[in-house]
Structure 1
Amino acid sequence: MTDSAKKPPSNGDDTSCRTEEQQQKVLSIQILFTFNKIDRIPYDFNSILFQINEVLALISPIPDKLAAKHYSNESISRYLISQKWNVQKASKMMNESFKWRLQYKPEEIRWEHIAYEAELGKIYRLNFEDKQGRTVLVMRPRFQNSKSIESQMKYLVYCMEKAIMNREEMIWLVDFNGFTASNISLKLARRTTYILQNYYPQRLATAILYDPPNIFEPFWKVT
């Protein structure tokens, strides 16, 4: 396998030959593409599964408690999409993501670990979803109440983990009303971008900014 993505020979995409399980798998992948506003799946079903299996052969094993969620077709497809269907790059990205999860343990962050960060409601999840069933996170930077970058990132990761629980994507609604430069650091913005891009690829569907300052334009273009 070369570094560039390969498209294997197609055997056609005859839906009448698929088992019920196969139909469910391709439907889930089609939904993922719809969420990501991709007009059509670039390869037929067999070609997509071929690339997913290639990734599976290259990624490192992870504990069973993470395998069901992070070895799914949907999960692997997100990494492939983010890397433009390059199997080598997607596999490397997944391995780095797994390494981060095993070290950072985002699924073990509990409310008591981030309660102080949440006191003023600078990030909260709406109790309803958008029309496409996506979780909406509201962010209000003016209520920043912490100086610790590590603590702030732990809170953000906690909120994202909750937002994508049983969901493919999330929406960010960022209210900059009353924001001042003292409310957030560029280091925090860079860390947020890095984590979102590398460990939660294709999870942020839309970021809606209300009254954003000019200083954040480059940051949001990247994400």
Structure 2
Amino acid sequence: MFWKKQASHFDSDAEQRQAKIKELRAALGSLSVRGEKYCDEACLIRYLDARNWNVDKSRKMLKESLKWRATKRPEDIRWPYVSVEAEIGKMYKATFTNREGRTVVVMRPAKQNTSSHERQLQYLIYTLENAVLSLPEGHAKMLLKVLVDLKSAQKLNFVYKENKESMKTMYNHIDPEILPMEFGGKNNVMYNHEDYSKLMTKDDIKTASFWAADVNPVAKVDWVPKVKPQSSLIVAKAS
């Protein structure tokens, strides 16, 4: 389980921090409309934090991201295009939040190929605030040794359902009353693809609304993505 990253912990005063943000923004030069939207202050802080507040390294990293986004246009991806990836509940945004109200992302690595799982873990752990992983001990050691750098490793918390002391770490982050039983909680909830599709369709509308002005400033977003009904709605029972 993963959740969104908090504000940066840059060890400096607010004035120096703002100076770095301003310097990075200027170093980026002229950006497209979508580039300007993407590069808000929170985004600049993430890239600065990722490169220890080195403006030049942060600029290079962010420029590469902008180049990729201009080519792949991830903001145009809609739920119907990727819904098949969630049919078996291998990765999805949970309906519950952690104790601080942050969004929780659930991954079930056993239900996807290893290379894909490794890439997603690398990205998520690097960009998010914290991660609680319920994995066999051997997998945990492999993850630390092969996939994760030292800075990212500090965000990892390994828990084991059979170990009550270990599970206290999970409960410190998520109330056991709302945590699904499959992760050691008390909530007998099941992943329902149809219900999740409805939630993601609403997210699609919000996403389209945010980027709509880039296509036509006066356009109204009045479409709703269609989700093809699945033959099996409940695909992942809580243990």
Per-residue deviation, 1:221: 3.2
Q: Partner of 1:105 in structure 2?
A: 73
Does the CA-based 8 Å contact 1:193-1:219 persist in structure 2? no
Amino acid at match of 2:144: E
CA drift of 1:216 comes to 2.9
Identity score, percent? 32
> Are 1:32 and 2:44 counterparts?
no
Q: How far off is 1:195 after superposition?
A: 4.5
Q: Deviations over 1:90-136 (max 9, x none)?
A: 11111111111111211111111112211111111111211222110
* Partner residue in 2 for 1:48: 17
Aligned to 2:160: none
Alpha carbons 2:118, 2:147 under 8 Å: kept? no
CA displacement at 1:62 relative to structure 2 = 3.1
Helix, strand or coil: the match of 1:57?
A: helix
2:60 alignment partner, one of 64, 76, 92: 92
The alpha-carbon deviation at position 66 of structure 1 amounts to: 4.0
- State the Cα deviation string for residues 166-215 of structure 1 (Å, max 9, x = none): xxxxxxxxxxxxxxxxxx22x33453356558xxx6x3111211133433
Distance of aligned partners of 1:119 and 1:60 in 2 relative to their CA distance in 1, 3 Å threshold: farther
Query: 2:119 aligns to what?
Result: 191
Which residue of the other structure, out of 136, 144, 152, is the alignment partner of 1:217?
144
Aligned length: 142
Residues 45, 72 of structure 1: CA spacing in aligned structure 2 closer, same or farther, 3 A cutoff?
same
Does residue 57 of the first structure (1) align with residue 26 of the second (2)?
yes
Residue 11 of structure 1 corresponds to which residue in structure 2?
Answer: none
TM-score, normalised on structure 1?
0.56
Partner SS for 2:95: strand
1:189, 1:219 within 8 Å by CA — same for their partners in 2? no
Q: Which amino acid aligns with 2:128?
A: L
Q: Secondary structure at the match of 1:32?
A: coil
Q: Name the SS for the 2:19 alignment partner.
A: helix
Counterpart of 1:51 in 2: which secondary structure? helix
Work out the CA distance in 2 between the residues paired with 1:135 and 1:83.
Answer: 25
Ranges in structure 2 where 5+ consecutive residues have no aligned partner = 1-5, 153-239
Say if 1:122 and 1:140, in contact at 8 Å, map to a contact too.
yes
Distance verdict in 2 for CA 1:127–1:115, change over 3 Å: same
- Partner of 1:28 in structure 2? none
Q: Secondary structure at the match of 1:132?
A: coil
Change in CA separation of 1:190 and 1:62 when aligned onto 2, cut-off 3 Å = farther
1:1-223 to 2 correspondences below 5 Å? 32-33=7-8, 38=9, 41-68=10-37, 70-144=38-112, 184-185=113-114, 187-192=115-120, 195-196=123-124, 203-212=127-136, 213-214=138-139, 215-219=142-146, 221-222=148-149, 223=152
Runs of 5+ in structure 1 lacking a partner? 1-30, 145-183
What displacement does 1:73 show?
A: 1.9
User: CA 1:139/1:209 → structure 2, altered by over 3 Å: closer, same or farther?
Assistant: same
Counterparts of 2:101 and 2:29, CA distance in 1: 32
RMSD: 2.4
Structure with greater Cα Rg: 2
Do the aligned residues in 2 keep the contact of 1:124 with 1:137 (CA within 8 Å)?
A: yes
Q: 1:207 to 1:195 in 2, by over 3 A?
A: closer
The amino acid of 1:32's aligned partner reads A
TM-score, length basis structure 2:
0.52
After superposing the two structures, state which structure 1 stretch, 115-124 or 211-220, moved more: 211-220
Contact 2:90/2:111 (<8 A) preserved: yes
Aligned residue identity for 2:31 = I
For 1:62, give the aligned amino acid.
L
